[in-house]
Structures are given as structure tokens and as C-alpha cells.
Structure 1
Amino acid sequence: MTIGNAQQEWAYVAGVQAFIYGYPLVEMVRTCALMTAVDEAQNNGRAPINQFSHCPRPWTHEDRDVVTPANDLLYSMAWLNLADGPVMFATPAPTGRYFVMEFIDAYSNNFQNLGPRVVGPSAGTFAIVGPNWSGSLPPGAVEIRCPTNLVWVLGRVLIDGVEDMEEARAFQAGFTLRATAPGRLPHAVARYQSWAESGEGFFANLARAMADDPAPAADAGLVAQFSRIGITPHGAFHADALGDAQVAALRSAVAAGVEIVEGHTRSRRARSWSINYAGGRLGTDYLARACTAMKGLGALASEEALYALCDFDRNGEQLNGEHGYVLRFPAGGLPPVDAFWSVSLYGSDFYFADNPIRRYAIGDRTRGLRYGPDGSLEILIQHAEPREGISNWLPAPTGRFYLILRMYHPREAILSKDYTIPPVERVSETVRQ
């Protein structure tokens, strides 16, 4: 092998590693850039840096800023830059309604959750501070020290049907933020560039993001290897400093990285369900972290919620709207949770699919569900409206789709893997008309 070929091969190998490692960080920066590109808070999750956006309705197929949203909740979202000082966060007194305020660092790790089990019976005041901040806080404020200066606060407030909407919104409005310094975008966010058509763009984004928020100490050994392809702690990536062969190799590395991560978001054994028991805290499992960022950015830690993904039916065939399916929970076999559960359906683009009844999920709070005489529950998953009516229908698109079963405050039976989710059964070769 010639020196040139060796350099090209090394660039490819290091590039694939850097893509898998850095995809969650770049995806966080991309999402932040998209959602903060407004002059004032909107009602769709978008708001300037260090400000809340309270969404007054559940998300639908029209909401496409964040992949795989839930449809059972009102979202509150804020992107924080803690480099210039703390941000004060106030919570209302819990009312018995389920809620969780999730804190996610720049590397997509869910490092803190505030919910009824943590906040306690009264309203609270918290000071959100960066990793290197020092100073004094107001009396009574509880410090939340964050691993990175870029933080995503992703709040969820449960709604119990249309008639509950106003009370849910009033509770949601009790969550407030107050920055102690003028907000400014992190450098990586302000300079974010789309990389879909350019492998070099991905690495430029990654370098800037790692300069803003350095990698954790546990990642130092791997990250040191990236300097050989021009990704250094100084935050500048210059493709023109590399040879043409190396640049070509990096482009190939990005394409391969996308394929690897996307492929691993599906069960490698083609099982009907696969559960991420680590949730949003994946440590140094970089591939799992990248998969979660691609197909479930903002995942909660497992003690708060478990996510089961289904891409395949019982026979290991990819779910597709050309067929009809049934998910049957036997009597006494509903998901074991203390909060709530729901099954959501997403198209191959990772977002809700448009459908005539605007139903995107079915769960324990879905009105009008029909149960069998023995207490069993059958969810009908298909494109065409079932002959049985729409009460138990989860509409599917005409092509590929996948399901996510969300289980909030999972019980020990599911955490200890004693509970088995029923497989999805194909019930027809073509959808029933």
C-alpha cells in the first residue's frame, strides 16, 4: 500500500468513527440552530436562546423540528447558552399531573430530570449553571450544574383529552426562565451549515461544536484520533489542508456513517420489539447514542421512561402500510407503568404520518377504545379505515413505518425484563378496504 492510500484509508476509518461519535452533537447543534432562529418565542417549540416556547397543543405530522415527537403531551422547549452566566428556572407546585422537565447536554445525554418525584410538593427555584461557573446564587435556589454550556430543556406536560387542555396549559405556563446575562448563540450554532451534500460540512460543524463544549474526559482517547483528520480542540476544520484523497475518504465516511447508524436503529435480529434500557444516558456507547439521536433525540433516562421500538412484525418482515397488522395486549397484559403508556406511529422519515382522523398514537388515555370481553385490547394498524370502525385504529402510511411504545414511570416488571411486549401480527396481505 502506498503512503497516499494509507492516508486515505486512515481518513476513512477515523472519519467513520468521528461521524458516529459526533452525530448526536451535530444533531443537537442543528436542532438548536433551527429552533432559535426567531426574534420572539413562538408556540411551536421555537424561541430565542435562553427563552421558553410553550406549545399549546400536541404535536402532529405538521411539526418537524424534532424527530419522533410524542402526541400525548404539551411540550415546553428552551435552548440555553450558559457560557455567559446562570439561567434561573422556576417550577409551579405539582398538582398531581404528570410532567417532566428534561435537561439534555450538548452530547445528547439526559443528565437531569425534574418531575413530581424530584421537585416535591411546592414550587421551586433552580439555578442552571455551566460546568465552569463559580459565584453565589439567590437564597433558596437549587443549583443544577450542567456538563456543557449548551443545554436543551425539553419539558413534557401530560394532557388528558381535549377537555383538559386549558388546565394543562395553565400548569405549563408556570414553568419560567430568566437569564442573568444577555443571550447569545453559541459559536457552533451561529455558524451551523447544512452537511447533507457535503461530508466536509459535517466535520466543520463537529469541530466548532467540540470547541464550544469540549468532550468529556472519558472520550479523550477516541477524540485524540480525530486530530489526524483535522478535528482539533481549536474548533477549525479546514478541508483544504487535507489532500484530495483524504477529503474524498471523509465524504465516503459520512455516507457510510449515515448507513451504519440508520441500520442500527432497527433490531439487528428483526425482532418485533427492541427496548433501549439505557434511555438517554448511554455513556461511551457511541453507536447507541447516535442511533438514539437519529430516531429519538431527547430520549429520557430509563427510570423516567422506557422506549420500545418496532420495525418488524412477528415474522421479521419490515412494517409496511401495504399490509394490515394487529397489536394485541392480552387480558392483564397492558404495559406495566405508574404514569401512562402509548403506542405512536412514524413514517420512514421519523415524523408522524398524515392521516384522515389525525390520530398519531393510541394509549391508556385514548377515548372510546374497545376492549375484548376478557379485557384484552387489539390495536388495528393499517392504511385504510377498518371495517370494524375507527375506535382502535392507528392509521399507517402506504409505505414503511415504525412504532414506538412509550412507558412513563415503568414498573419493575418491565425494568427487570419480566414483561414481554406482544409482537405485531400481520393479519392481511393487503390493507382491508
Structure 2
Amino acid sequence: MHTGYAQAVAGMAYLWGWPIINMINRRAAVTQAPHPGLLNGVLPVAPRGRLGMLHDYIDPTETFVTCPNQDVVYGLGYFALDEEPVVVQVPDFDDRFWVYALYDARTDQIGDLGKPYATPPGFYLLAGPNWQGATPDGVQAVIRTTTSLAAIVPRVFMDDTPQDRTAIQPVINQICCYPLAEFDGTWKTTDWAASPTIPGPPADSEGETTWVVPDKFFDQFAQALDEVPPLPGEQALYDQFRLLLDAAGNNPDLAKALVETAEQAEQDVIKPFFCWNHNGLPAGNGWNRSTHNAQWGVDYFNRTGTAKSNMFDNRPTETQYFYTDHDGDGQQLVGAHRYEITFPAGQEPPVDGFWSLTLYNDQHLFHPNDLGRYSLGTKNTNLLRDPDGGLTLSAGGPQPKDDHASNWLPAPQGPVSLYIRAYWGQQAILDGTWQPPEVRRIT
């Protein structure tokens, strides 16, 4: 294998394997927790086979994942399901929107647990593709994953009111995951508001935590190939990747070339995915929309693009995402300016769940502000309507001094992004006929 060919294969390996190495390294970090709790008081973490859960919106200082959501109460857990199946407890959420997003090592979503699926309360067993064991009585259903490595990210909608913060606590306290060996058929509860703080390394001040390190990528790549079986049609790709590792293992110069290729690919291939115009497909009025989210298959372009820009999407039928870095004139959004987004009467995102507009800084993270306000939408009960029944939201610039201050999102001075979530979208969301409104600069 000559160097030029090896570099070509290595470049494809880096694009293909980036989300998987990302997942492997997130699992390693999260499962170091000795017990469920909050890493540095912020991120829900737990040992392998268990779940950590918030009791409120995610703290705005969070850097574990880009594009966090302040419309739901989150949870997080990582599993090794061939070695240790887990029981997932689903309480009665009544009319509240909820979904348990289950991800395999490729970041594809698996299983159907949530309000869109009319999932009944009960106990559900998550098992790996190679696990062979008896299913105990009392388990509602068995969900087979496609890889042993799996993650769960529960999302439970919560209004931005003190009343709903109180009402949701008994429900989320019944969200629980634990190893099958501990299943006894009894309902378990945890007071997530009392989750202990687990000390950890300081958050990355420059953006999301770095989960893929180019010069270590090929040291970990064999683990990715071993943990993640090939999809139909991928066997030849796997054979090329293994041949590449074997060749580099016997040739120090070739091994050095792989590191150089990884470092170059990080800059030339991965980094540009952070720009929204390189993510998904155009959705109209300068926005893009997510494509194949959490159902990637062999769409390596969008799988890796999303892993870089906004990891842990829901399926399109659960959530459709719209995002932009630019105003309607194609100019970069800058927080020092004021922008307006007007939804005409009857033309807000058509959903059976909820929708929101979120503002992020140039790292796709929250910029802490005195109002503690990062998104607007269904959760807000005090939004002011336009005289014709429409809804105008604004972002950036100085805080408005009139009644429209309730419709305003604070922003840092520099570049920002806007992001619309449409949970459990209706047909116009799913087929793309609904388009986000133009972002208009007004100051």
C-alpha cells in the first residue's frame, strides 16, 4: 500500500469513523461517574448501565454537547448491552410530550419509546444484538440495539413556569435505568433534584469538549471497527480500513502519514461542517433543515456533519431542526444587531408536540445572560402577539424597552446562530412544505 493510496483511505476512514470515535470517548467520560449525579453540578452522568437525570433545564454553561435545548428536562446514560442489558422504566407522562432517544454507536436512533409512539408506561428491556438470555416476567417489551454500545437521552417537555417545574418533579423522578440483574418488578424512584455534584475537569472555555483528537484517532480506530459491525454493503470498506491499519502497523512512515491525514481532515473536512449551510438541505428563506437525522444508514456526510455541529438529533418524525447563521440578505448574524422573525397568524411551526426558537453563540452553545433566556416558543406563556394574530420574535441588540421585551432573545456581541426545533411535526413539517420565516435585520 503506497502512501498516496493509504492517505486516501485514511481520509475516508476519518470521515466515516469520526462519529463513532466521538461516541466511544463520550461513553468513557460519562461512565467514569461512581454513581448517578451531575458532573461539576451541570451534566447528568452515571456509571455504565445507569442513567443520570436533570430536574430542570440544562445549565447554560454546559459544553458536553453543542446545540443544547432549554425546552426539555434531559437525561443521559451509556450502556454495553451485549454484556449487560438494562431495564428502562417509563412512567405515566399523561399529556406531557416525552421521548426516550436511544442511540447506537453510529448515532442512529433505535427503538420507539415516546409520546409519538403511544408508548404505555412500564418496564422495557434494552438488549444488545448478541445478548442471549431470558426475558423476565413484567417486562413490557424487548428493544434490540444494533450495537452493544448504546446511549439514552430522555427528553421531557416542561413549560417555563414555576407551576410546571413543580408538577414535573414526580414524573421525572420515575425515569430510571438499571442493569437487568437488579430487576425485581418494583417501581423505582430517584429524587433527581437532590443529585450529588461529581467533581470533574473544568469545562472547555473554547466550545464543546473535544471528543475526537486527530493524532489519537487511528490508535482508537480498530476499537471502532471491532465494536460496530458493518452495515450491508460496508464489508469491503471495513476490509480496506483493516488493511490500512495493518500496513501502518508495519511501517512507521505510513503511520506518521495517517496522523498527518487525520490532522488535515479535521481542518478541511470536519471543521466546515460546523457551518449550517454545510448541514442538511435548504429549507427556504436562508435556513437549512436536518436530513436523515438519527437515521443515517450510509449517509456519512450528514452523520458526521451532525456529530460535529449538533450531536444527538432526534428522528425527523420526532423532531425536525431548522438552522441558520445568516439573515435574509445572506449576511452573518451578529448579536450586536437586532433581528426579527415573524410567524404570520396560523403559520407557526405546525406540530403536535412543541416548537421553539433558540439562539446560540459562535460555538453553538448558550451565552449566559442576566435574563436566563435562551429560547422562546411553546414553553413561554407570556409572548406578546401582533395585532393581526401573528408572532414576532426578536434577537440581539439592546433589550427592548416596550412590552415586546418578553419576545426577545439576548445575544453576545459576536457571531450567533438561530435554531428552530419542531417536535412531533405535522405533515407540512415532515414533507418540507412549511418554511421558516426570513430573519430580518432591523438595526
Which TM-score bucket, shorter chain as reference?
0.7 to 0.9
**1:423 equivalenced with 2:421 (yes/no):** no
For 1:164, the equivalent position in structure 2 comes to 164
Q: Which runs of 5+ in 2 are unaligned?
A: 183-208
Deviations 1:257-288 (A, max 9, x none): 32343356457879621111422112111010
Separation (CA, whole Å) in 2 of partners of 1:216 and 1:28: 18
Separation (CA, whole Å) in 2 of partners of 1:253 and 1:165: 44
Separation (CA, whole Å) in 2 of partners of 1:360 and 1:351: 10
Separation (CA, whole Å) in 1 of partners of 2:249 and 2:71: 42
Deviation at 1:109?
0.6
For 2:325, the equivalent position in structure 1 comes to 311
Separation (CA, whole Å) in 1 of partners of 2:151 and 2:251: 30
Letter in 1 for 2:137: P
- Contact 1:80 1:152 survives alignment (8 Å): yes
Deviation at 1:335?
0.7
Q: What SS does the aligned partner of 2:45 have?
A: coil
Deviations 1:369-397 (A, max 9, x none): 11111011111111421233521111111
For 1:261, the equivalent position in structure 2 comes to 273
| CA distance 1:266–1:321, change in 2 (3 Å) | farther
**1:280 equivalenced with 2:294 (yes/no):** yes
Letter in 1 for 2:8: V
Letter in 2 for 1:330: P
For 2:310, the equivalent position in structure 1 comes to 296
| CA distance 1:365–1:259, change in 2 (3 Å) | closer
- Contact 1:326 1:381 survives alignment (8 Å): yes
Deviation at 1:30?
2.3
Deviation at 1:241?
7.0
Separation (CA, whole Å) in 2 of partners of 1:113 and 1:150: 18
For 2:147, the equivalent position in structure 1 comes to 148
Q: What SS does the aligned partner of 1:242 have?
A: helix
Instruction: Give the share of equivalent positions with the same residue, in percent.
Output: 27
**1:353 equivalenced with 2:393 (yes/no):** no
- Contact 2:11 2:261 survives alignment (8 Å): no
| CA distance 1:316–1:268, change in 2 (3 Å) | farther
- Contact 1:68 1:346 survives alignment (8 Å): yes
For 1:186, the equivalent position in structure 2 comes to none
Q: What SS does the aligned partner of 1:113 have?
A: coil
For 2:336, the equivalent position in structure 1 comes to 322
- Contact 1:9 1:249 survives alignment (8 Å): no
For 1:16, the equivalent position in structure 2 comes to 11
- Contact 1:272 1:313 survives alignment (8 Å): yes
Separation (CA, whole Å) in 1 of partners of 2:32 and 2:246: 27
Separation (CA, whole Å) in 1 of partners of 2:96 and 2:36: 25
Q: How many residues align?
A: 408
Return the match for 1:393 from 394, 402, 408: 408
- Contact 2:49 2:84 survives alignment (8 Å): no
Deviations 1:169-190 (A, max 9, x none): 21112122220359xxxxxxxx
| CA distance 1:268–1:308, change in 2 (3 Å) | closer
For 1:190, the equivalent position in structure 2 comes to none
Q: What SS does the aligned partner of 1:69 have?
A: coil
Deviations 1:128-159 (A, max 9, x none): 10011122101242110000111111101111
Separation (CA, whole Å) in 2 of partners of 1:162 and 1:302: 31
Q: Which runs of 5+ in 1 are unaligned?
A: 1-5, 183-193, 429-433
Letter in 1 for 2:19: P
For 2:132, the equivalent position in structure 1 comes to 134
| CA distance 1:237–1:254, change in 2 (3 Å) | farther
Q: What SS does the aligned partner of 1:293 have?
A: helix
Separation (CA, whole Å) in 2 of partners of 1:277 and 1:354: 30
- Contact 1:86 1:179 survives alignment (8 Å): yes
Q: What SS does the aligned partner of 2:234 have?
A: helix
Letter in 2 for 1:379: L
Q: What SS does the aligned partner of 2:37 have?
A: coil
- Contact 1:307 1:407 survives alignment (8 Å): yes
Instruction: Please show how residues 30-429 of structure 1 align to structure 2 within 5 Å.
Output: 30-43=25-38, 44-120=43-119, 122-141=120-139, 142-160=141-159, 161-180=161-180, 199-230=214-245, 240=252, 242=254, 244-263=256-275, 265-266=278-279, 272-388=286-402, 390-428=405-443
Deviates more, 1:248-257 or 1:102-111: 248-257
Deviation at 1:359?
0.5
| CA distance 1:67–1:333, change in 2 (3 Å) | same
Separation (CA, whole Å) in 1 of partners of 2:92 and 2:258: 57
Separation (CA, whole Å) in 2 of partners of 1:254 and 1:24: 12
| CA distance 1:386–1:245, change in 2 (3 Å) | same
**TM-score normalised according to structure 1 size:** 0.87
Separation (CA, whole Å) in 2 of partners of 1:258 and 1:266: 11
Deviation at 1:41?
0.8
Deviation at 1:245?
4.2
Letter in 2 for 1:337: V
**TM-score normalised according to structure 2 size:** 0.85
Separation (CA, whole Å) in 1 of partners of 2:342 and 2:112: 32
